[in-house]
Structure 1
């Protein structure tokens, strides 16, 4: 193209400007004008026109860049308006800023409650040091920007002495190779959220347009972050409300089930069901194995198998349950609920659930305990109602020794109609509360006698019980263990038996009273005693002077051993006691080696127990040995006298 050297040359520049020609085309116009011999004045005018054209092009470029930035800003605002969680939103912001401003790396740091800036997300980082790094106040570029609530930038961060540097933050900047850095505070009104960072890996000076664009993005990010936070909070609240609604619906369903279960349990109670039936219904409703125990821990009813139990933990939980008047759970997940009527301990429920109990289940457990308490009270009321008839019968049985055989037979028949078999072994107990209200003791005794298929009456302020069984001592301990906690005072119990039939009941009563009196004389109030428990003193107190029983109880295992093995442990014991407890002297008496005596005494210890050489027990053993020896001598004398009589006398018979 020929470049004119007059004013028409300016028109060529305008044409190139209108065509948005590149800068090299304007240089070509100047070169050709010089080559074609343009005058200096023409060249000056042409150069000025080129400069102006280039200025217009630069302005147009800036305008296009601003328009592109505004378009990207609108696109970014549109992206931020879409639903995002906070982490995703921060990723969107860093990615947009990096692309719009042509940064090498962008990141967002959020303000921590302690005042530090923690880097949460980044785009363009080349190391793992950025994410999670905390910049403490007042170091770095972000904290001054927050304090000023205005953007701050530096062309070369590490060489900028106007900043307060933090060594750890500088290490991160150095590892990333960053130089220029821009920090824009993310603020929404008076609330400060964090800082938006943009960085380049070369020295760079940021223009006002770039700073303004990043500030606009930061403002959008602040609003979006608050919106996302509110959205997440709302979602969390909706989730909680949905969960609460689900729990409420579940609780309502469970309450309806528990109400039906409780109604069913009460229906069984009113229908006269026994403890086991009620326990099974309650166990099914709670999906648990359930046992009802009396105050002494003995089972009254069971539904399911509790498995291996830590009985000490259950006993401790039972105490806590009665003290707190509510169910208590052990460390092993076993529940213990108190069965009470007012302040009276009627027993406990022990429950092992298949799954953990919730509040409603615990409520049903309380109601079940109350149901059993009502059932126990109803049974007690029944026992009290029948008590008058049974008491009259017992009073007549105590006086049966002075009645005719026909009258005694009638009493046996009356007892059988009440479900009491007097021909079966039975024991008699006389209990004396050592304090407390007697009325409560009498009511309890009525219920206990009814439950044990026995009889109860009151004589001389003492409670008298006739119970089926063959172990009088065990029966006395059971009564004392249950009645003492109820009264809050010790209970002394004398006992006699076992016996059979109605004729001997009066005799058993007198023997039990003598045992009770012996307890008092021996300062044993609050204990239990039978003639057997009292040893040789019991032998004196007993009506029948059961010498054989006393000997069998005291040294019976030794006598059996001698009889079965043809040994003489009995003679060794006699020699040992006759020698003052000296094994060597006993060996001399028996003309055996001392080791033989020692081995024999060890065998006696195996048979009688370690306590046979204790002072009290030694006296019992010596008395039993003397009685045994005396009876043997008497038997031999009677046998010898019988053999010495004439044969004719054996056929003589006294006249009736």
Structure 2
């Protein structure tokens, strides 16, 4: 110290120590003073007094430093408490806590682990880390300092973690400690009341012995952090509950608005029904209400009314859904984009409604779909009532058309009567004769009246059989549709014969006779409960038909082979004849045709491609053979007729 002189006695030296202490001089100046006193060779007793004074001054210095550190810590603690009162989310709050603890206590690294659903803890946030191994690390129950701190409820620390055998080590924790180069480690439980939410960790990359003041300060910080974490959790829970309540309110308002829309839509649909609107108009209105395209189908799957086309409709999925919807008696999803609802009246199946909505049905939409289906059921029942009222008129007209003596009225009057019943006899029609095999006939007759009315056809009952004249060109399909609807309704088999198509009033009696012959043939062939037309009966149909359409039979049996020969000038037809003539022997057929057997084999393979793999089975083989005989006979007759005409010309 510049200009400093050592006093002459011990009191002067002690006063100098006190003077330096009052000036808050650094310890180095005390060391300089003591060194000079020792050089002046004072009395040993005096030197001891001066040394004691210097030691006491150093202790006062240390106490003052500790006091300043505590004051700084308390000030920082107050600042931290103020920071923790801000409305942070949990991740941000944990980041603030770890950063504050690291700065206040001069740790190299701090991190927080929170308790999970089980007994393990998960490290959520770290500060000062040099690797990414710690965040998200699961601390197994019972391992490390953290779990011991939770058990004891007090802070625990170690000067060198990896060398401390009193700690239960795990490979995952030791790997992180080693990767971060940590030695000293402290764990303080984050307690709020009687429960602990996690552990606050502080760590150093050197061996360090923590002081009581440092331990007390981090415990105070941990208590503040625990309260803040608890408060943040409650705040987040409250915010989530508020958000859920707001969402529930929005859903309730949306549901109420949707219910009002659905009630309005249902009222509009019922108004259309009461006003006598047709099914297509009702289907369009219902589709608009459900924001999609809607179809009404009968039990056979035919579309009775539609609000538009449904593209890419999976009919197999719809067929499966039809069974499920009648079993559940409510709407079901056919696929991700299509819904099906049953149209029923009591236990009677009247059909289904198929809906393709723009968006998924939610809330009460499925209820409106089912209500719409029931509205269709009401409409169909109203049609049935109208059909019952018109039934005698329709029966009389069809009875008149079936009479062998034809109509007692001129043809134009018959046509006018038919048009008044929405039947156009100038369009193609098919005739179906259905015979219920047991049970009461009343339900079948009621159904037939409704069905004929629905299909714009005519119905009557003759000889215990229901006779239907229906618009269409496919007698087989019409017969199957009648069986498909009537059999489930009656609960016992129904045999159906059909004929057609044909045009005009004069053709009805002929189709009736042919349909009856088909029905008799089914009975003779033990086909009770089946449906068939002359076309379905193969060569038997040729015999049963009034017009003996040989060309049509030949075309159905071997038409593809004839067309192939005509286009490519091949001999498949001759090969077939030779094959049948040789008793089904390709070798004998090859000899008759004067070709190699392999050639016959290749031709037979081509015939199989054209006629299908079943053409050699007995039933189809008989029809193919008969068609070949008819073809050959017709050609011979035409050739003989041409020769006779030539002779007469000469």
Q: Is the 8 A contact 2:17 2:57 kept in 1?
A: yes
1:173 corresponds to which of 152, 174, 177: 177
Corresponding position of 2:235? 231
Q: Distance in 2 between matches of 1:307 and 1:186?
A: 63
Q: Return the TM-score normalized by structure 1.
A: 0.83
| C-alpha distance in 2 between matches for 1:94 and 1:600 | 89
1:232 positional shift: 1.5
SS in 2 for 1:128: coil
Distance 1:583 1:27 in 2: 128
Q: Deviations over 1:97-153 (max 9, x none)?
A: 222222222222223444334332222233333333344343332232222221222
Structure 2: gaps spanning 5 or more residues: none
What is residue 269 of structure 1 aligned with on the other side? 273
Within 2, Cα distance between the matches of 1:7 and 1:65?
33
- Give deviations 1:573-612, integer Å, cap 9, x for gaps: 98987777788989999xx746899799999999988749
Q: Equivalent residue for 1:654?
A: none
Is the partner of 1:89 in helix, strand or coil?
helix
2:197 is equivalent to residue 193 of structure 1: yes
Q: Is 1:457 matched with 2:474?
A: no
Structure 1 366/204 Cα, relative in aligned 2: closer, same or farther at 3 Å?
same
The one of 392, 395, 398 aligned to 1:391: 395
1:320-376 deviation digits (Å, cap 9, x = unpaired): 222222222234522222222222222222222222222332222222222222222
* Contact 1:339/1:347 (<8 A) preserved: yes
Structure 1 residues 602-642: Cα deviation after superposition (integer angstroms, max 9, x where no partner): 99999988749845425743774697489769968997999
Compared CA separation, residues 211 and 444, structure 1 to 2 (3 A): same
Q: How many correspondences in the alignment?
A: 637
Does 2:22 match 1:18? yes
Q: Tell me how far 1:198 sits from its aligned partner.
A: 1.9
**Which digits, 9 at most, give the CA deviation of each residue in 1:425-455, with x for residues without a partner?**
5443221022455333222211221123221
Matches within 5 A, 1:218-617: 218-399=222-403, 401=405, 406=409, 411-422=414-425, 424-469=427-472, 471-498=474-501, 501-502=504-505, 505-506=508-509, 508-531=511-534, 533-534=536-537, 546=547, 549-555=548-554, 593=594, 611=615, 614=620, 616-617=622-623
Contact 1:535/1:550 (CA < 8 Å) preserved in 2?
Answer: no
2:160 to 156, 160, 163: 156
- Aligned alpha-carbon RMSD (Å): 4.1
Question: Which position in structure 2 is the counterpart of 1:5?
Answer: 9
- Where does residue 651 of structure 1 map in the other structure? none
Instruction: Tell me if the contact between 1:4 and 1:33 (Cα under 8 Å) persists in the aligned partners.
Output: no
1:98 maps to 2:97:
no
Where 2:201 maps in the other structure, the secondary structure is strand
TM-score, L = length of structure 2: 0.84
Q: Contact 2:294–2:353 at 8 Å: present in 1 too?
A: yes
CA deviations over 1:412-431 (Å, ceiling 9, x no partner):
54334333344555443221
1:68 to 63, 66, 72: 72
CA radius of gyration, larger in: 1
Give 3-state SS (helix, strand or coil) of 1:157's partner: coil
In the alignment, structure 1 residue 146 sits paired with structure 2 residue 150: yes
Please give the alpha-carbon distance, in whole angstroms, between the structure 2 residues aligned to 1:582 and 1:179. Answer: 97
Q: In structure 1, what is the Cα distance between the partners aligned to 2:130 and 2:636?
A: 110
Shift of 1:523: 1.2
Q: 1:587 and 1:23 mapped to 2: Cα distance?
A: 128
Take 1:603 and 1:164, find their aligned partners in 2: how far apart are those partners?
83
Matched residues in 2 for 1:578 and 1:621: separation?
A: 14
Note the C-alpha offset of 1:387: 0.9
* SS of corresponding position for 1:401: coil
Give the Å deviation of 1:463. Answer: 0.6
Inter-partner Cα distance in structure 2 for 1:52 and 1:561: 127
Distance in 1 (CA, whole Å) between partners of 2:289 and 2:366 is 12
Unaligned segments of structure 1, at least 5 residues: 645-656
